[in-house]
Amino acid sequence: MRRSFYQYILTQRGHNFYDPVEAFAGAVAKDIMFPKYSEDYHEITDYLELSVDYLNSMDLFDQVWENYLENNK
């Protein structure tokens, strides 16, 4: 079953706030405006680049996106 990026990133949450992926996942979980049902790379990157300040580098998002694609086949 395919899932949205939001559903995937929630599985990456944890208690280690020093881990950048876990910190990103925690911030997404708190973001009520995040596009929760999207599977579209461009829609999510546009949102992250234009609407939030909790992601320091899009490189981290790209890394997580690749993992999402691998786990969402």
What pLDDT score was predicted for residue 7?
97
pTM over 0.75: yes
Q: What is the pLDDT along the chain (73 residues), one digit of tens a residue?
A: 689 999 999 999 988 889 999 999 999 999 999 999 999 999 999 999 999 999 989 999 999 999 999 998 7
Write phi, then psi, for 31 (nearest 5 degrees).
Answer: -85, 105
